[in-house]
Amino acid sequence: MKSVLFPAAAALILTAMPAVANDRYAERPPVVVSPDLSAPWLLQLGHKPGRVLLKNSRRAFPNEPDKPRASAHDNIRRLMGGADQVRTAAVAPQEKSAVRQGMNPVYLPQEVAYSGSEQPGTIIIDTVQNFLFLVEPGGKARRYGVGTGKPGFEWAGTHKVTRKAEWPDWRPPAEMIARERAKGRNLPAHMAGGPENPLGARALYLGSTLYRIHGTNQPWTIGQAVSSGCIRMRNEDVVELYERVGVGTKVVVM
């Protein structure tokens, strides 16, 4: 009897958690309980019903064909050969971690081919496909999944990393504070760095802009257009990138 009640109780507790009081981040996706009550339950990634994101067709790799984005559940089913029962124990450790975070594993770091003109050490951000590429020698690049600007907050340009910070403080710009106040939501003027900070574990500041490449305390938003213009990464990934690039690194946002 205990094995039947436990998943339902766990789902009830998770759904009772308070929502984030700031819509610059997407809401946590719903908990999906496996039909097999002895199997682990999963967080499934998905946009809000009815939400349509319209973006232009810029891509870091123009010769790469468009691919429909699968949900985390669909991607794991593919890895499992289409099995009806998805069991996280049969998935690679990083992919299991992504599923726990509610993130599509396609956005996990991986090595890819690169044939563009940018020099090794350059960061390229594709805001259509939601990938960040760190160009490497030998026609390769390290690819990471990112979250990008929501409709109305998209931008493109070339900058350099002007500053780096570990567990950065967050000071919302005046425009954001005013915008949220008009919606009846009050943002703090300052939030100290830490696990609950929206900027996450690391931040790379871009030129003299207000934009940053930074971590996040909401990894399930990776792969989506949900920010106010900043480029967000999983904390694990931004820590890795932080160690691999320095002040002065060229950043191309497409």
The catalytic residue positions are 214, 230
Q: What is the number of alpha carbons within 13 Å of residue 42 lying toward its C-beta? A: 28
> Measured between alpha carbons, how far is 208 from 159 in angstroms, rounded to an integer?
9
The structure tokens listed for 104 are: 């599509």
Q: Give the torsion through C-alpha atoms of 38, 42, 46, 48, to 10 deg.
A: 80
| CB atoms closer than 10 angstroms to residue 29 | 19
Residue from 119, 160, 162 nearest 253 by CA? 160
Torsion of CA 69, 224, 213, 104, to 10 degrees: -50
Radius of gyration of the chain, Cα coordinates, nearest whole angstrom: 19
Residue 250: C-alpha distances to residues 133, 200, 239 (Å): 12, 22, 18
